[in-house]
Structure 1
Amino acid sequence: MIPAPLPAERVFRGDRTFDYVYSKRMITGYDPETKTFRTGIGDLLNFGWLPESLVPSDNPLSIHARQRVHSAFARSMVRNGWEKEVSVSLDLDVMGIRFLIRGRLDLIRESDGSAEVLEIKTLDGKPDFTDPVQSRRNNSLQLYFYAKALSSARGLTPDSISASLVFLSMDNTSEPEAHYFPLDLSDEELEGSWLRHIRDTAEFLIAEDARKSIQLSALGGFHFPYDSPRPGQQQILSDVENCIENKGYLMLAAPTGTGKTAAVLTGAIRITLPRRLTLFFLTAKNTHKSIVLETLRIIIKKGVPLRGIVITARSEVCHRNRPRCLPDDCPYAVDFRDKIHESGIMKELLDHQIIGPDILMTIAERAGVCAFELGLCLATQCDIVICDYNYVFDPHVFLKRFFLEQNTAEMCALLIDEAANLPSRAIDYYSPEIRLSWIEELLEDGSCTGKREKLLHPWMERFGEWTILLENSGEDEIELPSDTDIPLQTDSWFKEITELRDPPEPLRELFKAIIDFSKISGVSDSRYHLLYRLENGDRILQWFCTDPSLFLRERLESCHNSIAFSATLTPFDHFEYLLGFPDEGRTVSRKIAWPFPKENLGVWISPVIDTRYRSRMESAALLARKICEIYSAMTGTWLVFFPSYVYLELIADHLKDSSVPLLIQTPGMSREERAGFIERIESENQLVLTVSGGVFSEGIDLRSENLLGAIIVGPSLPGMNLRMKLLSDSYRLRELDPFIHTWAIPGMVRVIQAAGRLIRNSIERKALVLIGKRFTKYPYLGLLPEHWFRDGSIQLLCGGVCGITDFLRKEKGGAKAPP
């Protein structure tokens, strides 16, 4: 299995240039009532610290080697009479703020009335500086703190304490060379730097107290972003408040149109703002992020001063439009700290209150700094962070500044939007893979050494053997025995990579995967299966995780609270387990009723057409005629959702000869193409052919007066393949019905998501037609939402479509829904 990330993995996070030291403004350990700040010296010195440059000066992958060298030197000094890892503390009062600072010095040797202190650091190569106060500010201040703490605790005078920084050169020699830099504890520049940092921190805390005071005052007069809550929203408000207040777990199933975002955000900020928690709104869709930002702006207009930021993918805010980060060749990575300080852009951006990608890029470009890294620095000073799931749950790109340490993670409140999508994403997070293309690229690299070739050739041989097995099977993917010989050679790869200052990207990816594989291979874990496949010309070996719920739970339990919400979060027991939410009564589950009149949604099932895979060719002509009949009976815009592109294209071919105007979704549409597609849906009368579970079936608001209804072709069941079989086996081991949990529930989730595009307010009146006789049978019928049943039943569409026409004509004679 893959446990919590080890230090060697940390370099593979999204914000890779802050591997070990990162800007920290998230306040933990501060009590505003007593004005007391309890903190470790490392956290204190990193508080507000910005890196001079984003270009790595050392190879960050060598952390294990650094730790070994550090420990070996300390042990050798202990043998010579030194004491290691001694805890010290210091109590200061600055500007009305009491600082209780703790730390643990590396080495100390005491005699009557005097003490020697050593702080150990490691370097790649020899020191290229003479004055650590100038070049290694934080190292010098850390040692200065130890000396001051010793002086206070032992009653020693400053001149009776000698303090030195010891830099151990790691230059591939068997015995690292130690370089000693004595620190002048009476140095005015050193003392001034210490006092400035303490005062800057105190000023920040005082300013934050003032900001929070204004927030709380405004919060007292704030009730809801809109005039009044819709039915169900008051229940959501109450449940969210109780969950955060009690550090609990909440699952909310609320139909589309309930106004989940406004209710959840309102309930959350009522508790998180007074408690100074950072609220994370997690969503995979850019459209959802826009809804959150719009809601936050309304709340701010209501008088509550909030700070919110959107953290998006690094590539989306890259000034150079690069798919991956290359800090060694990027002008936006150099002089990062100086550019920020000189431009004053952090204050400027925080004054915007809501920091979206566009404004972040514009201002970062003006200052000449990386927008992504700037956003990460700003996030710790914001009340709300809007980002993708991976920045919390992915073991390689999670935001360390928030979630690496327990004291910061417990200050984070999680809101997980469209939570039904998280389990499948988590499977990807915890299913590491190794690609043949990485190995081939490394072998073709002109800088490939003989030692590296020796490590790579066993991989080429194994990939050849596995490819023969795949070809002989006649399948697209095969399962290999769990005890398959995999040439990991983890220690050898570790030595190879730590010798490089900036390893090539394929080597980084390979090393990351080898570290992950080493934790799984040889361990008996029924959740993991070793798979081999051919994909887009590449050959891929993967440990496939069928159940990542325990990994999700580990993250959830480290945070203050967790709230999952979606229109498709039932059955609760199914999603409670997959999401890692605890049982035994610790999770509150709430189903919110549909907020609109039931008569506004007309639902029909057309049971005549068989939409099963085996019958699609035979029934295609009949299905195309039925779709044309529905469209022609009342012209407008109709959405038609198919379970796959292949099925969509089959029916599109039958419809092309008709007079019906078609708008057809295609695979791999760009962001601009998707925006244009939505614009056409909203402006033209046509039959829109799209895919269930795709980008147009969830997370979008269609503002079209001409949208009459949706036609959903069959339950959108996942395909039958090796991975789905392994997932079904995992349910069988838990004594659950494998078909229902592997295929039926996910398929019906997509159906319900697609239908959610129809009604968004109490005035709209729309028709929903479910095509396929499976909708009339178990288990599909039992998975349909309650509000689809009018008077306890759903109408069957066995003949003509006049019932649909009559239903929609009632809307035509009534009031129009607002755009």
Structure 2
Amino acid sequence: MNALVDERPGDSASVYTIAVRALCEFGARRGDLDLRFTPAPSAREGIAGHAWVRSQRGAGYQAEVALDGEYRHLRVRGRADGYDPARNRLEEIKTYRGELRRMPENHRHLHWAQALTYAHLMCRQRGLARIEVALVYLDIGTQRETVLAETHDAADLRLRFEALCASFLAWSEQELAHRARRDAALAQLQFPYPGFRPGQRPLAVAVYNAARKGLCLGAQAPTGIGKTIGTLFPLLKAMPAQGLDKIYFLTAKTPGRAPALQALQRIAAAQAAPGALRVLELQARDKACEHPDKACHGESCPLAQGFYDRLPAARAEALHGAQLDRPALRAVAARHQVCPYYLGQDLMRWCDVAVGDFNYYFDLHAPLYRLAQDHEWRVGVLVDEAHNLLDRARGMYTAQLHRSQLSAARREAPAEARSALDAVARRWSALVADQAQAYETRDELPEALIAALQRAVGVLSDDQEANPRSADGALLRFYFDALHFLQMAELYDRAHSVLDTSLAEAPAAGGARGLSTLCIRNLIPAPFLAERYAAAHTCTLFSATLAPWNYYVDTLGLPAQAAWAGVESPFKAEQLQVYVARHISTRYKHRRASLAPMAQLVAQQYRARPGNYLAFASSFDYLGQLADMFRQLHPDIPVWVQAPSMNEAERHAFLENFTEHGSGIGFAVLGGAFAEGVDLPGRRLIGAFVATLGLPQINPVNEEIMRRMDAAFGRGYDYAYLYPGLRKVVQAAGRVIRGQDDRGVLYLIDDRYERSEVRELLPQWWRVASMDRLATDGGA
């Protein structure tokens, strides 16, 4: 739903409550999709701009005036940016960058629709006969105001308002009916299988109770019990009673969307009213784009031309289908000749369940989070494989600039932009001129460089509006990277981030200072993520590896009142034989010496019990050496090896080797695409070998993370190295036992697995045996 559904006081008829912005976006957008007058200022810049405009007004000026009004069964509400009682003037404030004259006309049309809607609500609320209405455009760079003002009679504003509402009435009636049908179906929803798997029921109960109490929940549950449907089902069941508008199912990687979509199909098939639940798969813009060689405006892309004129029909057809996965969405978009990506963006407003990547809710510009805030939705969030959120969130709130990118951008830049980029280059050179080490951290942001970067972004913004360029050009890439850097500079705080500079080589080695990198690096994303949890009615983070709990509470910013559920494994110790190969050291200095013994270990187990195995190493370099040694010593045993940057088809081909009756060794990287989220039940996988503890590489960045974690939480080594490493080990090992009938063997290769602090991080149901050589019976 795009609004809240209430009951009228003293009346049983439903009321559809919609925000002013949402109403205008539905009824007043027209013409082309046009992204030339973007990107807009950041949220913080916009807030600061609004505050600056208000500071220029008189003492009686009223800011953020709450307004609402009704038309038939519609309740329209919002907050007017400002009202001056002395002048009887209502103001709608818009911040921007660049040249205002280049703003597309349909943008201005939408802004007027919003302003005039607020003006009607103001007249209605205060009994005004007429009012002055002003669009106030503020240039963020120059703090220059442009004011467009008109005076309107209240009667005329009422007619405009009613016409706008009338254009939405039929749609709102359809949406009210959909909501009622959806909630009735979910209230009667039955679990779509004859029974719960062992471990599924306690997980489902924990998720349901968290939704009922409006809590954030962390849930650790073993691989193979069906966590996807075990979390989706109870949250859907809770949806009607808790008044949830949306459910967001968020995944760390693209393959994670498929199990969620399949589970939702299964649940939908079990409903008494098939098709009552609208499910939308979200996809990245670069993967959805049909014309990657064209810019996003009507003069370049045929799917942008007249986009808003064709959108209503496309939207209506799309919502007739219950599940809009990528192929279905693309087919609808093709029939109506609209952009599939931006059709999907619009459908976020009307779906019940959205399945997409973490970034759709947790990123700095996350659309699902923004929409939930704008429309005051009550949302439930499910975070799958939540152990990945720490590294992903660090990336979301990190910004890097490479000197080579600046040089490449300058070569493409027009003459008027080169001087601005040259000023950035000079400030950059001055910053690293005295750098003594290849990597250094700094206490303060380089204000002179930031100021030069802000000026350059302003010049490039003007140029981009006048001369739109392809997104794959160096100039535009640098422009967007610089914007992100400036946004993170606004949010910079040494409590959660660090500013560092890196040279390609240490100065003593003669490294060129021109090949440097400037980075605002997030180390503790907790303050950013905490806002996202607070915005949701309930949020469940679940994974097979979410321990120790305090590590995730601290680094991910989970609220103090968050609940915790630890689901015991349904698997028995005799299902998985676990051996520690303590006679092999995989420490970096012992890597070469470890290759032959490991190859022998893998081969002996394979010959004792032929079948499919996975052998994990900590890096592609180590993996390649091990695979080469294995091929050299055992050329008769089938082998397939993970390569860096495999595409979706190549990953699929790798997994196709694991057949029910096949045999061979798959070599893969620990923590990579085949170490988690991969389901190979039965005899498709009967064993795994894990070399090393998976500890992150010792380098200056990880050492800085250790220092900061120690300062913040007192557990620097554990938080920076031990916990992330053992998490990867347990995830990889979890590929072996996927069901109640599975049997397999696991070898943990390194003597450090004998240590008590390591053993206590391994699953409790494992029965671990130590070995100095391979048992003659082949272990399994």
Scaled to the shorter chain, the TM-score interval is 0.7 to 0.9
Is it true that 1:623 corresponds to 2:598 in the alignment? yes
Counterpart pick for 2:619 among 641, 644, 650: 644
- Which amino acid is the alignment partner of residue 55 of structure 1? D
Kindly report which structure 2 residues correspond to 1:157-556, keeping only aligned pairs within 5 A, or say none: 161=130, 163=132, 181=150, 183=152, 194-274=161-241, 275-303=243-271, 305-321=276-292, 329-341=300-312, 344-399=313-368, 401-405=370-374, 408=376, 411-449=378-416, 452-464=417-429, 473=437, 475=438, 477-480=439-442, 482=444, 486-489=448-451, 492-493=455-456, 495-497=458-460, 499-500=462-463, 502=465, 505-506=476-477, 508-516=479-487, 518-519=489-490, 525=495, 527-534=497-504, 539-556=516-533
Tell me how far 1:511 sits from its aligned partner. Answer: 3.8
Tell me how far 1:531 sits from its aligned partner. Answer: 3.0
Q: Is the 8 A contact 1:435 1:539 kept in 2?
A: yes
Tell me how far 1:255 sits from its aligned partner. Answer: 0.6
Tell me how far 1:764 sits from its aligned partner. Answer: 1.6
- 2:724 maps to 746
- 2:733 maps to 755
- Which amino acid is the alignment partner of residue 480 of structure 2? E
Q: What is the SS of the residue equivalent to 1:488?
A: helix
Q: What is the SS of the residue equivalent to 1:387?
A: strand
Aligned CA distance change for structure 1 residues 764 and 731 (closer, same or farther; 3 Å): same
- 1:52 maps to 31
Cα distance in 2 for residues equivalent to 1:212 and 1:517: 39
Tell me how far 1:164 sits from its aligned partner. Answer: 5.4
- Which amino acid is the alignment partner of residue 214 of structure 1? R
Q: What is the SS of the residue equivalent to 1:530?
A: strand
Tell me how far 1:155 sits from its aligned partner. Answer: 6.8
Aligned CA distance change for structure 1 residues 622 and 109 (closer, same or farther; 3 Å): closer
Tell me how far 1:421 sits from its aligned partner. Answer: 0.7
Tell me how far 1:564 sits from its aligned partner. Answer: 0.7
TM-score w.r.t. the length of structure 2 is: 0.86
Counterpart pick for 2:696 among 689, 694, 718: 718
Aligned CA distance change for structure 1 residues 763 and 615 (closer, same or farther; 3 Å): same
Q: Deviations for 1:731-764, whole angstroms, at most 9, x for unmatched residues? A: 2214533222221211111111111111221112
Tell me how far 1:149 sits from its aligned partner. Answer: 4.7
CA RMSD between the two structures: 3.8
Cα distance in 2 for residues equivalent to 1:73 and 1:547: 34
Cα distance in 2 for residues equivalent to 1:71 and 1:796: 66
Cα distance in 1 for residues equivalent to 2:577 and 2:280: 40
- 1:795 maps to 769
Cα distance in 2 for residues equivalent to 1:162 and 1:740: 63
Aligned CA distance change for structure 1 residues 323 and 517 (closer, same or farther; 3 Å): farther
Aligned CA distance change for structure 1 residues 241 and 531 (closer, same or farther; 3 Å): same
Aligned CA distance change for structure 1 residues 617 and 212 (closer, same or farther; 3 Å): same
Number of equivalent positions: 751
- Which amino acid is the alignment partner of residue 592 of structure 1? V
Q: Deviations for 1:392-446, whole angstroms, at most 9, x for unmatched residues? A: 11113444542454x63x6121111111111111111222222213321332235
Tell me how far 1:347 sits from its aligned partner. Answer: 2.4
In structure 1, the gaps of 5 or more residues are 1-24, 808-819
Cα distance in 1 for residues equivalent to 2:664 and 2:352: 44
Cα distance in 1 for residues equivalent to 2:84 and 2:540: 48
Q: Report which stretch shifted further, 263-272 or 507-516.
A: 507-516
Cα distance in 2 for residues equivalent to 1:273 and 1:180: 45
Q: Is the 8 A contact 2:33 2:308 kept in 1?
A: no
Aligned CA distance change for structure 1 residues 52 and 29 (closer, same or farther; 3 Å): farther
Tell me how far 1:120 sits from its aligned partner. Answer: 7.2
Aligned CA distance change for structure 1 residues 135 and 587 (closer, same or farther; 3 Å): closer
- 2:21 maps to 42
Aligned CA distance change for structure 1 residues 258 and 140 (closer, same or farther; 3 Å): closer
Tell me how far 1:632 sits from its aligned partner. Answer: 1.3
Q: Deviations for 1:193-220, whole angstroms, at most 9, x for unmatched residues? A: 5334323444444333322332333334
Structure number, greater radius of gyration: 1
Cα distance in 2 for residues equivalent to 1:89 and 1:369: 35
Cα distance in 1 for residues equivalent to 2:286 and 2:764: 42
Q: Is the 8 A contact 1:236 1:267 kept in 2?
A: no
Tell me how far 1:479 sits from its aligned partner. Answer: 3.3
Q: What is the SS of the residue equivalent to 1:563?
A: strand
Tell me how far 1:290 sits from its aligned partner. Answer: 0.4
Cα distance in 1 for residues equivalent to 2:110 and 2:445: 50
- % same residue: 23
Tell me how far 1:670 sits from its aligned partner. Answer: 1.4
Tell me how far 1:221 sits from its aligned partner. Answer: 3.3
Cα distance in 1 for residues equivalent to 2:594 and 2:51: 72
Tell me how far 1:631 sits from its aligned partner. Answer: 1.1
- Which amino acid is the alignment partner of residue 678 of structure 2? I
Q: Deviations for 1:509-533, whole angstroms, at most 9, x for unmatched residues? A: 2541452354367x65474242324
Aligned CA distance change for structure 1 residues 518 and 545 (closer, same or farther; 3 Å): closer
- Which amino acid is the alignment partner of residue 26 of structure 1? N
Tell me how far 1:617 sits from its aligned partner. Answer: 1.2
Cα distance in 2 for residues equivalent to 1:154 and 1:567: 60
Aligned CA distance change for structure 1 residues 74 and 489 (closer, same or farther; 3 Å): closer
In structure 2, the gaps of 5 or more residues are 469-474, 506-511
Tell me how far 1:261 sits from its aligned partner. Answer: 0.8
- 2:574 maps to 599
Aligned CA distance change for structure 1 residues 76 and 34 (closer, same or farther; 3 Å): same
- Which amino acid is the alignment partner of residue 415 of structure 1? L
Cα distance in 1 for residues equivalent to 2:409 and 2:589: 45
Q: What is the SS of the residue equivalent to 1:746?
A: helix
- 2:472 maps to none
- Which amino acid is the alignment partner of residue 219 of structure 2? L
Cα distance in 2 for residues equivalent to 1:629 and 1:58: 64
Q: Is the 8 A contact 1:61 1:497 kept in 2?
A: no
Is it true that 1:635 corresponds to 2:635 in the alignment? no
Tell me how far 1:669 sits from its aligned partner. Answer: 1.0
Q: Deviations for 1:246-273, whole angstroms, at most 9, x for unmatched residues? A: 1111111101011111110011111124
Cα distance in 1 for residues equivalent to 2:746 and 2:501: 41
Kindly report which structure 2 residues correspond to 1:766-781, keeping only aligned pairs within 5 A, or say none: 766-781=744-759
Is it true that 1:557 corresponds to 2:519 in the alignment? no
Tell me how far 1:58 sits from its aligned partner. Answer: 3.7
Q: Report which stretch shifted further, 510-519 or 415-424.
A: 510-519
